[in-house]
Amino acid sequence: MDYLKELNPPQREAVERTEGPVMIIAGAGSGKTRVLTYRIAHLIYARGVDPFQILSLTFTNKAAAEMKHRIESLVGLDARNTWMGTFHSVFAKILRVESEKIGYPSNFTIYDTDDSKSLIRSIVKEMRLDDKVYKQGVVLSRISGAKNRLISWQAYQKDPFVKADDEAAMRPRMGEIYQKYQDRLFKSGAMDFDDLLFNTNVLFRDHADVLNKYQHRFKYVMVDEFQDTNLSQYLITKKLAAVHQNICVVGDDAQSIYAFRGADIQNILNFEKDYPDLFVVKLEQNYRSTKTIVEAANSIIDKNKAQLKKTVWTSNPDGDLIELIKATSDNEEGRIVATTIFEERNNKKLNNSDFAVLYRTNSQSRAIEEALRKMNLTYKIVGGLSFYQRKEIKDLMAYMRFTVNSVDEEAFKRIINYPKRGIGDTSVEKILVAAYDHDMPLWEVVQNAPNFLSGRAGSSVDDFATMIKAFQIEVERKDAFEAANFIAKQSGLLRELYEDKTIEGLNRYENVQELLNAIKEYVDNPENEDKSLGAFLQEIALLTDNDRDKDTTDAITLMTIHSSKGLEFKQVFVVGMEEDLFPSQMMMQSREDLEEERRLFYVATTRAMDKLYLTYALTRYRFGRLLNCEPSRFLEEVDPATIKVNKRMSATREMPGAMRQEGLPGGSGFIGLKKKPESRVPSQMKIHTPSPDFKPSNTNNLQAEQLVEHPKFGFGKVEKIEVEGLNRKATIKFEHFGEKTLLLSFAKLRIID
């Protein structure tokens, strides 16, 4: 087999070094997936390792499936026996087998974010707390952060620092909510996503026999995207690899951008401390991007202090210089992007799918969308409402979930009166209270409803219980598709949707049919050994955002930079390159925060294969106000030899492609078209170095004629002060930057005189 001949020397070294701890530092576009794939194939083919002894952890099921198919093409059907999948899917599989040891049923439900938020909303309401203070998202994020650091509700309540944080945030009862949330999950036979990892740690901590079983089962452990792991994930893999020590982690610290999800970059930076005999391989050859883009990306990430040093290079052609585009407003920025895509697509015979527009926050998509629509350019937004988050889909899924796990409180609340069967909120509340007060499983109360509810409501709940029992019989006897089809029809849900003849109603009906199609596809797939409804529900619960995106339309991709990781496009626009937007004003409290933002910029630039555009606007609507913007500090960090400065003035009444020379009416043109080594970032972007004693002054009484210092524009004189509503604006003439009008509530000025 000649697969090793397809690898460059470092890639081959990474594939052949199978024993002991190994860290593969994989630069952007360096063929990481090929290395992982060939490494597993090499273990099976050349080393004779039993595939059942190989554990490979990824961050999307799609990536795992693609790798499995590639390995299969190299070594045959044996590849299907490797344990490969996301952290959550692999450990959910283990928990299905072992969950009773920690008090959970084997058919436990996996709650998604909506389920968790709904449960938190109920708890906050029952505790009579202010839901504007205890917002569902904030509470869930706090609980999630605790679980990722393996802090149980008991430890949370005892920690004085955690308690002080909650009191400072005016949410002193957070610990109680965490306790009630976990208690309700447990009684519902449910785990949220974080519990899949938290409970695996608990399982391995409290049951040495179980840990020992899986330590000996997995002789080789591999972790992809290691820089994105949190403490919980790292400790699991470390425990599993403790016996054989054959652990291989693959990642790039320069692409660690998920701290807000609990990812800890220290896992990769300090990996060698846990494994002193670690063997390190660096994959530094980039196969994706042009030389210009690679050099620019290197110049960006080089500014970070906390990093594992590497020098990414490429033998690809130089390619085009990066285009830096200034727009007067966010709307003009959108028009420039749309016009440029239109021209590039036609001139270079490209597809819509060859283009991506990346932004720091979702709200930036509005101006881009409007401009693309006006030019009839097809686009898709990644990270919007996914198929499985639509109401009608969640309704049918809730019926299926409650049939499989009849103590699932959130599924019960969703379906008990849909379609309407005369069971009001008061009756539902009585059922739930009865279950809590009598410490009875929810299903037991539902089956004996007439004992707890009088009149028509009791009879209706009794009929509901009879229907669910019929569903349970079908689930036991039939595969996932037959059972789901039966539930969809007999629940009345299909009829309810079919009778709604509005366009929206027809779409909802078709969506449910599409869900049934997906279940049939699952059942017909020979790789799925378990055809049961419970197995299908687990598969869907564990889908990541990337797994859900199956849209094959030829469309321009709009997405946040965070969502773009792992993807590549021929031409990429990174829009909104402005201070306080990118880097975000929320991420400038510490060097660690700023370095994460810089890594995010690095990820954005390395998505581009052939052409990269960086755009910024001089004014932008944010928080309902028109703000003056400054170019991002990151633009100063890009190697100026890689940049070409374009001044594209969008002409709304001109046809795309109508370009005029600089200075003509409605003008559109270019400046700075010099040879590559001489191209420079415009002089007006040269950032002033603040005085050593610089400290922003209180500008409430700032007057005309006073001298001030701005951290970037330098020294200037106040020309005039204007008041618009609650806003005070200062027009300042700066020594090197000319006249600027700044909102005093945002501007950081040191008053000199």
Give tens-digit pLDDT for 131-168.
989 999 899 999 999 999 899 999 999 988 888 989 98
Which of 79-83, 220-224, 724-728 tops mean pLDDT? 220-224
Where do the structural domains in the chain lie, given as residue ranges?
3-100+199-283, 109-188, 313-386+548-645, 389-543, 706-752
Confidence band of 345 (pLDDT split at 50, 70, 90): very high
pLDDT of residue 522: 87
The domain made up of 313-386+548-645 is a member of CATH 3.40.50.300: yes
Tens of pLDDT, residue by residue over 405-448, are 999 999 999 999 999 988 988 999 999 999 888 889 999 999 99
Q: Compute how many other C-beta atoms are within 10 angstroms of the C-beta atom of residue 508.
A: 21
pLDDT of residue 548: 53
Confidence band of 544 (pLDDT split at 50, 70, 90): low
Tens of pLDDT, residue by residue over 697-714, are 888 888 888 888 888 788
Cβ(699)–Cβ(744) under 8 Å?
yes
Tens of pLDDT, residue by residue over 602-640, are 999 999 999 999 999 998 876 666 789 999 999 999 999
Residue 663 pLDDT > 50: no
Tens of pLDDT, residue by residue over 309-319, are 899 999 999 99
Is 189 annotated as belonging to a binding site? no
Is 116 annotated as belonging to a binding site? no
Tens of pLDDT, residue by residue over 98-130, are 999 999 999 999 998 889 999 999 999 999 999
Question: What CATH architecture is 706-752?
Answer: Roll (2.30)
Is 667 annotated as belonging to a binding site? no
Backbone angles phi, psi at 608, to 5 degrees: -85, 135
pLDDT of residue 607: 97
CA nearest neighbour of 532 among 478, 474, 490: 478
Segment 286-292 shows an average pLDDT of 96
Confidence band of 549 (pLDDT split at 50, 70, 90): low
Confidence band of 655 (pLDDT split at 50, 70, 90): very low
Is 33 annotated as belonging to a binding site? yes
Cis peptide before 631 (omega within 30 of 0): no
Residue 725 pLDDT > 70: no
Is 26 annotated as belonging to a binding site? yes
Residue 43 pLDDT > 90: yes
Euclidean distance between CA atoms 288 and 324, whole angstroms: 21
| Measured CA distances, 617 to 377, 409, 582 (Å) | 22, 49, 12
200-228: string of b/e by CB count within 10 Å (b at 16+)?
bbebbeeeeebbeebbeebbbbbbbbbbb
pLDDT of residue 656: 33
CA nearest neighbour of 411 among 425, 432, 397: 397
Domains 313-386+548-645 and 706-752 share a fold: no
CA nearest neighbour of 143 among 194, 90, 107: 194
Residue 681 pLDDT > 60: no
pLDDT of residue 652: 37
Domain 389-543 fold is: PCRA; domain 4 (1.10.486)
| CA angle in degrees (0–180, nearest 5) for 144-150-153 | 70
pLDDT averaged over the chain? Answer: 87
Confidence band of 675 (pLDDT split at 50, 70, 90): very low
pLDDT of residue 665: 29
Residue 1 pLDDT > 70: no
HSE (side-chain half, CA atoms, 13 Å) at 459 = 3
Helix (H, G, I), strand (E, B) or coil at 545: helix
Is 541 annotated as belonging to a binding site? no
Helix (H, G, I), strand (E, B) or coil at 656: coil
pLDDT of residue 671: 32
Segment 217-221 shows an average pLDDT of 96
Confidence band of 651 (pLDDT split at 50, 70, 90): very low
User: For residue 625, with 0-12 CB atoms within 10 Å meaning exposed, 13-18 middle and 19 or more buried, which class applies?
Assistant: middle
First and final CA of the chain: distance in angstroms? 78
How does DSSP assign 596-629, residue by residue? HHHHHHHHHHTTEEEEEEEEEESEEEETTEEEE-
pLDDT of residue 507: 78
109-188: CATH, from 3.40.50.300, 1.10.260.40, 3.40.50.1220, 1.10.10.160: 1.10.10.160
pLDDT of residue 653: 31
Strands 714-724 and 707-710: antiparallel
Segment 242-256 shows an average pLDDT of 94
Is 14 annotated as belonging to a binding site? no
Tens of pLDDT, residue by residue over 486-533, are 999 999 999 988 888 777 777 788 889 888 988 998 898 888 889 999
Q: Which helix (H) or strand (E) holds 429?
A: helix 425-437
**For the chain, percent of residues with pLDDT exceeding 70:** 91
Is 27 annotated as belonging to a binding site? yes
Euclidean distance between CA atoms 526 and 593, whole angstroms: 47
pLDDT of residue 667: 31
The domain made up of 3-100+199-283 is a member of CATH 3.40.630.30: no
pLDDT of residue 541: 85
| Measured CA distances, 86 to 51, 77, 91, 237, 639 (Å) | 17, 21, 8, 12, 37
Residue that is written with structure tokens 């940049």 in the block:
643
Residue 356 pLDDT > 80: yes
pLDDT of residue 664: 27
Strands 669-670 and 643-647: antiparallel
Segment 458-475 shows an average pLDDT of 94
Which residues are the active-site residues?
32-33, 224-225, 255, 607
